[in-house]
A and B are shown apart, each in its own frame.
Chain A
Amino acid sequence: MGIPRYKLKRYVISNTIAWIAGIVWLIPFLGVLMASVRPYDQIVGGWWHLHPFTLTIKNYIDAFNHPMFPIGVGLRNSLIIAVPGAIIPLIVASLAAYAFARYSFPVKNYLFAFIILLMALPQQMTVVPLYFLLRNMHLLNTFRGLILVHSAWGLAWITFFMRNYFSMLPTDVEEAARIDGASDVKIFYKIVLPMALPGLISAAILQFTWVWSDFFLALVFLQDPSKYVATQRLPLLRGQYYVNWGVLTAASILVMIVPLLVYALFQKYYISGMIGWSTEK
C-alpha cells in the first residue's frame, strides 16, 4: 500500500470517532423522522425495530386536523409574526448601529455597553410589567403587540452585530459622497446599506428564525388558542390518555422545517451571522 502504516492508523481512528459523533448527533433526528411516518404501535416499543414497517402520513394529517390546536394555523400565525418581527428591528437597529459606527456623541461608550447588557437580559425581567402595559394598550392577545415586543428585543443584538459590520466597511466612498454634498441620510441608504447587504441578510434570517422559534414571549402575550403560534401548539398536541409521539413528532418536523430550510438556503449568511453576533471584529 502507498499509505504509510502510521498514517493509515491515524486515518481510521480520526474517521471512526468523527463519524460516531456525527451518527450520535443524527440519531435523535432520525427517531423523530421515523416516529412521524409510522403508526403508533410501531414506535411505542422503539422506532429502530424495522419489522413491521408501515409508511403513513396519518400523523401529519392528524397534526393539521387537530380538534383544538391545528398546527397549520400555528404555522401561519408564526409567519405573520416572524416576518415583521425581523424586518422592523432590522431597519431600526441598522440606523442605531450606524450612529455607533460612524459618529461620536456624548455617552456613546456607556450607551454601547448598555446595549451589550440588554443582550444578556433575561426576558423574564420584562414580562410582568409588559403584560399590563400591553393590556392597557389593548395589544394583549394581538399579533401587533407580540411583533412590537419582538422588535424591541431584537434591537440590542442587531445593533451590536450591524455596528461591527459597518465598522469593517471602508469609509472612502462615504467621504467622497459627503464632499459631493450628499446628506447623511442619503449616504446611509444609498451607499452604506447596499454595501452592508450581506450583514443585513445575516441579521434578518437569524432574527426571523429566533422569532419563529420563540416560545416564552408567545406563551405570555398570546392567550387566545386561535392565535397560538406553532411553537406554542407543539406541547399541547401530546394527547389525552397517552403521549401520542406520532403527532408530536410530525408537528415537530413541521415546526422545525422552516428554520432548517432557512439554514440550508442561507448557510453562509447564517454561520457568519452566528459568529459575528457573538464575537467582535
Chain B
Amino acid sequence: MRRPRSLIPLFFLLPALILLVPFVIYPVLKTIYLSFFLEGKFVGLANYKHVLLSSDIINLDRFPTKSPPWGSLINNVIFIAIHLPSTIFLGLGLALLLKREEVKGSSLIKSIIFLGMVIPMIVGGLITRFLFEKGAGVVPSILGALGIKSLDITWTAFPQTALFAVILGSIWIWTGFSMLMYSAGLASIPRDYYEAALIDGASRFQIFRNVTWPLLKPITIVVVAMTLLWDLKIFDVVYVATGGGPGGASMVLALQMWDYFARELNYNYAAVVAVLLTTLTLIPAMWLIRRRE
C-alpha cells in the first residue's frame, strides 16, 4: 500500500460513484422512503402492517391444511426448503461422481449439466413449462405411463402442483452451479491427503467425512449463500412458467412486488415488498461479508 493520503484512489473510484449514486444508492433510499408513505401522506408502519398481514404474503387461513395459495413469503420458504438441499446434494454428488477416473466423458456430462446456468432464465422457465405440460411434456407423460394418473396433468395450471413444477425446473437450472463449485473445490484438495488417509486404513465414508467435507466447507458456505440469494430473488422462471398462478399458488416475493408495482400501480406496497425481500437477502449477504474477516 502506498501514498495513503493522496487523492489518487478517489480518482479511480469516482466514475463508479457517479454511476452508483443516482442509479443504485438513491433508488434504494427512495424505496425505503416510499414504503412509509401512502398516496403522498406519511403513514408510518401502516403499509408494512397491511402488506405483511395480507393473505398475499402469508395466508394462514389456508396454510398448511388447505390447498394453495399460501402466500408469496411461504412459497419462497417452501422453494428454499426444497431447492437449496436438492441442488447442494445433487451438485456435490455429481462432482464426486464425475471426478472418478473410470467415468468416460465426464467433462461432456459436466458441460450438459452446467448449460442450465448458461441459458437465460426466461428460457429456463419456458422449458420448465414445456416439461410439465400434459401431452407435450415429458414429466406428466412418464408419470401417466407409470400409472400415476393424478399427475398426468399440466402441472403449471393446478394450484397443488404449480409451485412444485417451478421448483423442479429450478433444480434442473441451478444444479450446475453447485456442481461446478464443488468440482473446483475437489480439484484443489491435494492427492496426498487421500493417500495418507488410505494408508491409515480409513474407509471411503470416513475419508469423505473427515477429509473431503471439512475441506469443502468454504465452498459450501459460498454455494449455500449464493443459492439462497438466487432462490429469494427468483422472478423470470416463475413469471414465464406460471405467472405466479393459478390464483397466486406459485406467487413469490419478487413477482409479488412486480404485481403491486405494474398491475395495481401501488408503488408504496411494492416498496414494502422490496424492503422485505432485501431484508431477507441481507442474511446470506452478511454471512458472506463476515466470512472475509
Contacts and interface: CB of A to CB of B under 8 A. Distances in A.
Given A117-B285, A153-B24, A103 B181 contact: no
Given A47-B136, A127-B261, A129-B27, A234 B16 contact: no
A153 B94 CA distance: 33
B199 interface: no
A188 B292 CA distance: 26
A46 interface: yes
B120 interface: yes
B126 A126 contact: no
Contacts of A93: 16
B22 interface: yes
Given A14-B102, A213-B120, A155 B20 contact: yes
B162 interface: no
Interface string A221-251: 0000000000100110000000101001100
Interface residues on A, range: 35 or more
> Which of A35, A43, A44, A96 has the largest count of B CB atoms less than 10 A from its CB?
A96
A32 B1 contact: no
Interface stretch (B43-51, B52-60, B189-197, B271-279): B271-279
B220 to A, nearest CB: 11
B118 to A, nearest CB: 5
A275 B186 CA distance: 13
A216 interface: yes
B82 interface: no
B146 interface: no
Contacts of A267: 111
Contacts of A35: 130, 136
B207 interface: no
A98 interface: yes
B266 to A, nearest CB: 10
A22 interface: yes
Count chain B CB atoms within 10 A of each CB in A45, A102, A151 and give the residue with the most: A102
A133 interface: yes
A84 interface: no
Interface string B122-134: 1100110011010
Contact of A32 (B130, B219, B229, B273): B130
Interface string A176-209: 0000000011001000000000000000000001
Contacts of A231: 120, 122-123, 236
- Majority SS of interface residues in chain A? helix
B94 A122 contact: no
B254 A122 contact: yes
B98 interface: yes
B27 A126 contact: yes
A14 B100 contact: yes
Contact of A14 (B97, B118, B277): B97
Contact of A45 (B136, B181, B278, B282): B136
18 contacts: A19-B109, A25-B112, A25-B116, A28-B131, A35-B136, A45-B136, A89-B19, A118-B24, A124-B233, A124-B278, A126-B23, A129-B31, A148-B23, A152-B19, A188-B12, A231-B120, A278-B226, A280-B292
Interface of B: 1-4, 6, 8-13, 15-16, 19-20, 22-24, 26-28, 30-31, 34, 94, 97-98, 100, 102-106, 108-109, 111-113, 115-123, 126-127, 130-131, 133, 135-138, 141, 172, 175, 177, 180-181, 184, 218-219, 222, 226, 229, 232-233, 235-236, 239-240, 254, 257-258, 261-262, 267, 270-271, 273-275, 277-278, 281-282, 284-285, 288-289, 292
Shortest beta-carbon contacts, A-B, top 6: A213-B120, A120-B285, A152-B23, A129-B30, A126-B27, A99-B12
